[in-house]
Amino acid sequence: MFDFNDFLSANSHNSHMLAKYLATLPSKQSITIEGMVETDGDVVFVKETDKLLLHELLWSQQESIKNDLFRVNRKLGKRLYEPLATLLAQLGQPDSRLLRRRGLERTLTRLDAVSSPLEEYLVTTGTDIDQEQLDELKKLKIFYRDGKSKSGNPVCYYVARKFKPDFEHQNELLLYHILSILKSLIRRPWELIIDLTELRRENAPKVEYLSRLLRIIPLSKAENLAALYVYNCNTWARKYFRHCDRLLSKAKGNKKVMFLDSLQKLHEFIDPSDLRLPTSTASYEETTRVFTLASKLSSRSVPTTIKVCSQSFQMIVNEKVRVLGQSVSIVDSYHISELEEATVQDGNTLSLKTTDGMPTMKFTSPDAGELLGALNHSYSRWLLSQTGKTAARKTIRPGDVPGTLLNMALLNLGSPDPSLRLAAYNLLCTLTTHFQLQIERELTEAQGVCIPGNNTIFIKTISSLLATNEPHLTLEFLEESITGFQSSDGSLKSLCLEFIAPWLPSLARFISKEQPDDQRAGKVKRILEKLILLTVDEKESHMYPSIQAHVWGTIGQVPELLDPLLIIFLKTSAGGGLGSDKVDVIADTTVSLATSNKQLVSSKVVKKLLKLIGRTWNSPTRFLEQHILWEEAAILVRFLLMLSFNDRLDVVHNLPHLFHVVTLLSCIGPVFVRASVHGLVCNVIHSLCTRAGELQLTESTVRALKVKLSMLSQPKFHLWFGISKVKSSAAAAFQPSYDDRTVRAVRSPPRDESEGVVLQHIESISSFLYETVQLCVHDMVECSWIVQWRQLVDRAMYHNNPPLQPRALVTYGVLAEQEDGETVLRLLTTLVESMVRFDDEVVLVKAVLMCLTHVVVVLPKDSHYTPILFWVAVCCLQLGEEGVFAASLALMEATVQTMDANGAFDKQTVESCLMGARQLYEWSFSQLDRTTGISFTTSFDYALASLLMKGLFHQSPLTATRTVNVLRLMVSISGKSYRQKKDDVIAENLPYFALLFPKCDQSRFLLSCVPGSKVQTGRNRTSRNYSNCTIPIFVTAGTPDDEVERSHLPLLVNKKVATDQTSQFLLLFLLVQLLLHTANDKEVEHLLYALADAAKLLNAAFLSTFSLFVSKMEDILQHTQSPALLRAVQEMLEAGSAGSAEMSDKQPSLNATLYLNEIGFSGLIQFRPTFDSDSRSDLTVQLIRRLIARVVSVNRLPGDDESVSTLSQGTSLDVPSVDNSRLEVQTTLSPLLGDLRSAVSLGDVSIPNELMVSLPARTASRSLLEESSVQWQTNGDIRTRSASEINLT
């Protein structure tokens, strides 16, 4: 091209002028052409056709013009669009007749279609599309739009497996169909789902058409495509994407492209009700069996999960691969009809050959046999569903001829047609002669023989002889007979059952252990599967009872068939789903099996269920309902329920196993499963009553059993079993709701109760069952039911299985008898292991404590583990966890009661006895005490009371009541060694009295009997003796009786009991914390009177703690309307004022915060009545875990010389006082007394004039309280600090 450079340079000016001339409109002076209109400036062409075209184009596209103008600049667009809209409104709609007359429709279509390549393609290709072929393609629903996503965007679906091009033009049809749907969506957000399930090579579109699609709608310009979901990417799809790598380069790493392999993940973006995937795709989520231990053999072993569904199977590679720059799980899905061959080699190698052209796939799995059985079962189900096709596809092999013809002859012998009966008889004779069947003497071929229609006995006799003499024909004959039964009418079906029955026992010879034959055993399983499906299909027909009696009653007499039959039962039931009619039919069938051999059938079912439960230990889940084996276990529970009536479960031999199952599976699963467990217990006890003679039970025992049977219908038992909301447990067990039927797909466990509450129910159920067993064992000779039950529980309680291990532990505690230290150590070891992940194992911690509560009662009297368990309970109380607190409290109560019953506190004080047990671990306990802010070495009783105080505020009324019981127990045993009366008030039980004081009338009565606390009464007033001073308590003349009693409150604070400074401070802090967190007015009133006593008798302690409850006082004065409370506040404030005046010239008061820190009770200041995770630190959990582990290690090695660091027990510390300092509280009391004056002015409370002091009028109590100051005088210097600055917290 260099040769043209000189030419262009020489003519560049001329070329520029030519272009300028062509681009410039002629001036009006040069207009000479007819048809052009002259204007002031330029001229334009205005032909009539142009007017029509422009009018039609603007009219049809005015909405698009408006959107485009407004998108750029709304204000400017509005200004430009309004004149156009006005003009079009004036012109009106274009006349279509003029367009047709002038032949302008096609021209207009092309002008309208030039806006994008998409519209251009549709215009140019639409004329060549055959509409009938396009309609057929639409019916296939390869690509369609339906539903919306959670974002509100329309969703399109592309189902790849449905595209099977028979000719080249179908690719073009599909492309046109896709683009015609996208035309209406491309200008707004939309989403696309590409379903690659069962994609094969022939389903993939040609690359050239994909290239054309991406040219028309490039990925880089598809801004409105909000999301692209690729569902179930398989091996063929991965190869296709790799082949189109360059075309799809824009999709790599694109966040809009998401690969999904489950419907649950898809539901995160599209609501299930709006999802419109094909049913065949969704059916893969209804998995019958899942095999997770398989590995695919290729160049290396690849872990693979294989799912077998009712009519399909999936192979999911566990290792993710890279597809379009993302990590993707490969999911190969196959319909069961694509399975060409499946065999097992070497016991654990499965070979699969499919029809998609892939090479034979090999997998290794320990469950290869079960996997093969599941695939064969699914294939058999599919064959049976192909009505009219099975016979056409069946290939008759030479070995099948005798069985096929024999079934044909016997079946047609029952025909109503005499000629057909004769022909069938002669066929039977021919078969006998040709195949040398050993019934020749019974048959003779002849013409003209008259065979009656009622020849059932003859047919049955012949069939029985053949079954006995020719058992090798069993498999082929039964397969053909089942097929004949399905295609026969009612009368022939009955005949078919009659001649099938004699052959069924012969199935056992093909699965005998002496002559194992995998192929023939597989045929036996297929026959049994067909019989099961036949039974399910006939459930609603009149043949159902006959099938149960002739088929399953006969099979039940063959023990060798029971094991494979139960496996098939479970697989078939799981295929139908928990709660389905199929499960109930198979459960009925199990009853038919047990009719002939109940002991064998029942033991097989029970052992199968226990084995299944044991397998859950291998891969435990948090909830049993989430486990893959849950459905099979629930199905077996349904089997047990059906067998349990009329003692088909053989209660004599299986009672321990049944009760073990009940304790493990109660309150689990949907309502009908819970009701099934409840019904199982009812039926078992009913069987005990009806078999009383066989068990040699006395009349009194039978009456007691009947009482227990009637108790099971009470509401509390329904609550224990988790069926409190049902009216009838029997109806709930046999009528599962819709939600119960769908629980398998949902796999989300229902949780109406907390796990901790369920443990309490299990404890109650176990106790009830244990009492039932004891009733029977008392009358029976050499009965080992309890021993067997304990052995079963013992094997389950130490396996890591979150849903079942806590239940086993609780049950073991109920069954505990004469336990030793080894059991305690094993339980403590489990407790240590559960604290490694405390937040996840709270239920297990509670279960161990509940078990120890029962075990401690049956330990030997001289066991040194009993006091150790007290400290274990104390440690768990310090965790501050709500559920664990209740269990720890129960363990503490049981431990103290046991020690008291054993005489441990007769000669030793409670403190010396229990503190001595922790000497060896003192160093660890001291660490824990410092962390939690209490000190047992400073004061055992106040430390324990500080822990128990939290139980008074527990949300559960039962726990709060138990806390009161423990406090009463500590009161009663604290003075035993001093030879005091049971309820005498002494220094050791004073902290427990303090906690009981506001709640229990009995404790206040006992306190009134303490020397120095006598109450004197007068006509208009009562006075209390405060040892050194007397403070009058005034009572108005019209006071009701209950208020008079409160004015006679006993003296809790007594220097003769609380003798030292430490106990006085701790007592005051207990009362203050109770006051701050108590909401009951009566209790608050009692506490205020007690604090009034403290203001007079324990001045220093009171003044140090007063600022803690100032806000409580203000709240009472501002909000209460109770005269009694106001009177209590009055007395407390007056006593405080008097006490502060007496202290003005005495010793200075202490800093309460520093003092409690020094004596180790900082936690008492920071007391919180709530139970939450914030109140528990990880350090506390770790310290407790190490401490208990230390206890286990020391007691397991009694001769261990390992030194244990201990901390010496210290006494209460004397905190040095500040010289020449005093606390003036009158300025703080003044506004509160002002509040009281305001209340009195309302007439609610009357105060005698002689006690009314001159106080400044109260203007705003809260502001006065906040601004009130505390004066400290130190060496003559006065500093003023606000009340907020000395807040102890």
Lowest mean pLDDT among 210-219, 509-518, 576-585: 509-518
Token pair belonging to 7? 């030419």
Q: What is the DSSP letter of 849?
A: H
Confidence at residue 893, expressed as pLDDT on a 0 to 100 scale: 94
Task: Please give the residue that has the higher pLDDT: either 1279 or 403.
Answer: 403
Confidence at residue 383, expressed as pLDDT on a 0 to 100 scale: 78
Q: What is the per-residue pLDDT across 632-690, written as a single tens digit (0 to 9) for each? A: 899 899 889 988 887 778 888 899 999 999 999 999 988 889 999 999 999 999 999 98
Distance from CA of residue 133 to its chain's centroid?
Answer: 51
CB burial class (10 A; 0-12, 13-18, 19+) of residue 420? middle
Residue environment code for 888-898, b if the CB has 16+ CB neighbours within 10 A, otherwise e? bbbbbbbbbbb
Backbone angle region of 903, left / alpha / beta, with phi > 0 → left and psi within -120 to 50 → alpha: left
**What is the pLDDT averaged over residues 287-309?**
85
Give CA angle at 158 (109, 218), nearest 5°: 55
- Number of neighbouring beta carbons within 10 Å of residue 1275: 7
pTM of the complete model: 0.62
Q: What is the per-residue pLDDT across 790-816, written as a single tens digit (0 to 9) for each? A: 999 999 998 888 899 999 999 999 999
Nearest CA to 486 among 374, 408, 624, 387? 387
If DSSP codes are grouped into helix, strand and coil, which group holds residue 1281? strand
Max CA separation in the chain (angstroms): 143
**What is the pLDDT averaged over residues 306-328?**
88
**In contact, 304 and 363? CB cutoff 8 Å:** yes
Nearest CA to 1055 among 1047, 1046, 1064? 1064
Confidence at residue 852, expressed as pLDDT on a 0 to 100 scale: 95
**In contact, 181 and 216? CB cutoff 8 Å:** no
Helix, strand, coil: what percent of the chain each, to 5? 60, 10, 30
CB burial class (10 A; 0-12, 13-18, 19+) of residue 825? middle
Q: pLDDT confidence of 1079, banded at 50, 70, 90? A: confident
Residue type, 414: G
- Number of neighbouring beta carbons within 10 Å of residue 975: 21
Going through 1143-1183 in order, the beta strands assigned E by DSSP cover none
Token pair belonging to 838? 């405390």
**What is the pLDDT averaged over residues 214-224?**
70
**What is the pLDDT averaged over residues 1083-1109?**
78
Q: What is the DSSP letter of 551?
A: I
Q: pLDDT confidence of 495, banded at 50, 70, 90? A: confident
Q: Are strands 287-297 and 301-309 parallel, antiparallel or unpaired?
A: antiparallel
Q: What is the per-residue pLDDT across 811-853, written as a single tens digit (0 to 9) for each? A: 999 999 888 889 999 999 999 998 887 777 889 999 999 999 9
**What is the pLDDT averaged over residues 1022-1041?**
29
Distance from CA of residue 347 to its chain's centroid?
Answer: 37
**In contact, 529 and 522? CB cutoff 8 Å:** no
Long-range contacts of 209-216 (CB under 8 A, 24+ apart): 209/171, 209/172, 209/174, 209/175, 210/244, 210/247, 211/247, 212/175, 213/175, 213/178, 213/179, 214/247, 215/117, 216/117, 216/118, 216/121, 216/179
Nearest CA to 710 among 730, 728, 685, 688? 685
Q: pLDDT confidence of 984, banded at 50, 70, 90? A: low
Residue-averaged pLDDT of the chain: 76
In DSSP notation, 669-737 reads: SSHHHHHHHHHHHHHHHHHHHHTHHHHT--HHHHHHHHHHHHHTTSHHHHHHTT-TT-S-HHHHHHS--
On the question of pLDDT at 100 being above 50, the answer is: yes
Cα gap 671→739, rounded to integer Å: 9
**In contact, 975 and 908? CB cutoff 8 Å:** no
Token pair belonging to 709? 């049977």
Identify the H or E element spanning 662: helix 651-665
**In contact, 376 and 525? CB cutoff 8 Å:** yes
Highest mean pLDDT among 348-352, 395-399, 961-965, 1251-1255: 961-965
**In contact, 933 and 1175? CB cutoff 8 Å:** no
On the question of pLDDT at 115 being above 80, the answer is: no
Nearest CA to 947 among 885, 884, 994? 885
**In contact, 1099 and 1150? CB cutoff 8 Å:** no
Confidence at residue 850, expressed as pLDDT on a 0 to 100 scale: 94
Residue environment code for 754-765, b if the CB has 16+ CB neighbours within 10 A, otherwise e? ebbebbbbbbbb
Confidence at residue 401, expressed as pLDDT on a 0 to 100 scale: 63
Q: What is the per-residue pLDDT across 891-942, written as a single tens digit (0 to 9) for each? A: 999 999 999 999 888 888 888 999 998 888 888 888 888 888 899 999 999 9
Query: φ, ψ for residue 1270 (rounded to 5)?
Result: -110, 125
Q: pLDDT confidence of 1138, banded at 50, 70, 90? A: low
Q: What is the per-residue pLDDT across 372-390, written as a single tens digit (0 to 9) for each? A: 888 888 888 787 776 544 4
Residue type, 126: G
The number of residues in the chain equals: 1289
Confidence at residue 379, expressed as pLDDT on a 0 to 100 scale: 84
Highest mean pLDDT among 568-577, 801-810, 1130-1139: 801-810
Highest mean pLDDT among 149-158, 540-549, 719-728, 1025-1034: 149-158
If DSSP codes are grouped into helix, strand and coil, which group holds residue 1286? helix
- Number of neighbouring beta carbons within 10 Å of residue 634: 27
Confidence at residue 1065, expressed as pLDDT on a 0 to 100 scale: 83
On the question of pLDDT at 1034 being above 60, the answer is: no
On the question of pLDDT at 188 being above 60, the answer is: yes
Q: What is the per-residue pLDDT across 856-896, written as a single tens digit (0 to 9) for each? A: 999 999 899 999 999 999 999 988 888 889 999 999 999 99
On the question of pLDDT at 501 being above 80, the answer is: yes
CB half-sphere exposure, 941, CA atoms < 13 A:
27
On the question of pLDDT at 1206 being above 70, the answer is: no
Identify the H or E element spanning 1279: strand 1277-1282
CA dist 218 → 206, 224, 240, 244, 889 (Å): 17, 12, 19, 15, 71
Confidence at residue 619, expressed as pLDDT on a 0 to 100 scale: 81
On the question of pLDDT at 1234 being above 80, the answer is: no
Confidence at residue 101, expressed as pLDDT on a 0 to 100 scale: 59
Q: What is the DSSP letter of 622?
A: S
**What is the pLDDT averaged over residues 549-553?**
89
Token pair belonging to 1030? 């007397």
Task: Please give the residue that has the higher pLDDT: either 785 or 1009.
Answer: 785
CA dist 355 → 200, 334, 335, 1215 (Å): 10, 10, 10, 91
Q: What is the per-residue pLDDT across 1176-1186, written as a single tens digit (0 to 9) for each? A: 677 888 899 99
On the question of pLDDT at 159 being above 50, the answer is: yes
Confidence at residue 754, expressed as pLDDT on a 0 to 100 scale: 59
What is the percentage of the chain residues whose pLDDT exceeds 70? Answer: 78
Confidence at residue 542, expressed as pLDDT on a 0 to 100 scale: 85
